[in-house]
Every structure is written in C-alpha cells, then in structure tokens.
Amino acid sequence: MKARLPKGYSNGGGNMQQIARQAQKMQEAMETATEELEAKEYTATAGGNAVKVTVTGKMEVKAIEIEPEVIDPDDAEMLSDLIIAATNEALRAAAAEKEDTMASLSGGLNIPGLF
C-alpha cells in the first residue's frame, strides 16, 4: 500500500533544489569577491610615515618604502620594528576587509571550506 501525502504537501525536493541553487549562487559570489579582494592592495605606515608597506589581498608583501632619515646603522632594530608594525597593519587591513566581505555575502554563516 502506498501512502498518500495531503493535498498541497510537497516532499521537500523542490525546496532542496532551491537551497542548492542559492548555495551555488552564494559560492559564485564569494569566488568573485575573493578574486577582487586578492587583486586589491593595502598600504600601512609606521613611524610617522617613515616606513610604508604595501601588501596584496593574497597576503603578499608587494613593496616596502623607507625614508632615508630612518636608516641608522647603529639602530637597525628600530627600523626592523617599524617594518614589522607597518606590515602587520597592512595584513590586518586586508584580512579584515576579506572577513567583512565574506560575512556580508554569507549572511554571517560560517561554512568551512567556502572561505
């Protein structure tokens, strides 16, 4: 004997297809956003603009600019600290924008493997 569903009741198959389409659209939007973010550049400075570091959205250092007056052979540690500070700030900016963009696209869902 075959069970009958009440009139107007669906087994949910259409709903699952709709959810799958929405998930695919979200994933495509995230891939597009990721490509755009990876192409962007983020710049940060330290020491009153004495050191300027530019990174890409791929989290790669693209450029480091150092003002000649901060190059002191007797204080290489200070220059190193400035480079580290500027680099870390630029990387934080890139990561924060990616996180914000992905959160807005996913509606706050944290789906492992998507981003």
Q: pLDDT tens digits for 50-81?
A: 999 999 999 999 999 999 999 999 999 999 99
Instruction: For the chain, give the percent of residues with pLDDT over 70.
Output: 81
Q: How confident is the model at residue 87 (pLDDT cuts 50, 70, 90)?
A: very high
Residue spans of alpha helices (H) in 54-107: 76-106
Question: Shortest CA distance to 59 belongs to which of 34, 77, 27?
Answer: 34
Rounded Cα–Cα distance for residues 46 and 69 (Å): 14
**Degrees, nearest 5: CA angle 30-36-40:** 140
Q: How confident is the model at residue 115 (pLDDT cuts 50, 70, 90)?
A: very low
Domains and CATH numbers, the chain: 41-96 (3.30.1310.10)
